[in-house]
Structure 1
């Protein structure tokens, strides 16, 4: 049920994208205490992404999850910024992350909701 969307303006090799997605899936599932079998991650390369009105490395992440505790967002932000810097060379100072706690009845899966 967690969904992590990663949008960056740095092009990565296919193996780099695979490593980013694999590590981010395990990282977020572990931090949230959710089964990784329900974790979804996606990556989008967007060369037009700008931060502060300037060109340069930038990232926008969105993490949607049922039961996302407000108290965890700082730890998640720190872990995700480190992950993006390690895999894409984009510093946390040029990364925005949107966190959303989604009510279970608004998240569908397999013909039902949570």
Structure 2
């Protein structure tokens, strides 16, 4: 049920995309404490983004989860994901925002129903 949606202005080829998806899945699962089989990661590369008036590499993320989030966990996720984006896409951590959503079960749909 944790879903990470990452958008960046960096063009992403299939090989790099696969690496980012795998690594982000592991980061989210381990940090939140949920199985990898529950984690979904979306990566949107090559999107127009301006950050601080510049179109240098930047990224925005949203992480939605039913539980598992909080100030300590969110800080760890922000740090680990920023490091991943720096390593794989050359996005400096100072050019990455992430928003966290802890939602109720009834607000998350799956398999034609809600959790």
Fold match by TM threshold 0.5: yes
Count of residue pairs brought into register by the alignment: 114
TM-score (norm 1): 0.94
For residue 31 of structure 2, give the secondary structure of its aligned residue in structure 1. Answer: helix
1:6-48 per-position Cα deviation (integer Å, ceiling 9, x unaligned): 1011112210000000110111011111111111000102441
- Rounded to whole Å, the distance in 2 between the matches of 1:47 and 1:28 is 23
Q: Give the structure 2 partner of residue 62 of structure 1.
A: 62
Q: Are the aligned partners of 2:25 and 2:39 in contact in 1 as well (CA < 8 Å)?
A: yes
- Rounded to whole Å, the distance in 2 between the matches of 1:107 and 1:62 is 15
TM-score (norm 2): 0.93
- RMSD over aligned Cα, in angstroms? 1.1
- Rounded to whole Å, the distance in 2 between the matches of 1:88 and 1:36 is 22
Q: Give the structure 2 partner of residue 28 of structure 1.
A: 28
Q: Give the structure 2 partner of residue 75 of structure 1.
A: 76
* 1:99 is the counterpart of 2:80: no
Extract unaligned runs of 5+ from structure 2.
none
Extract unaligned runs of 5+ from structure 1.
none
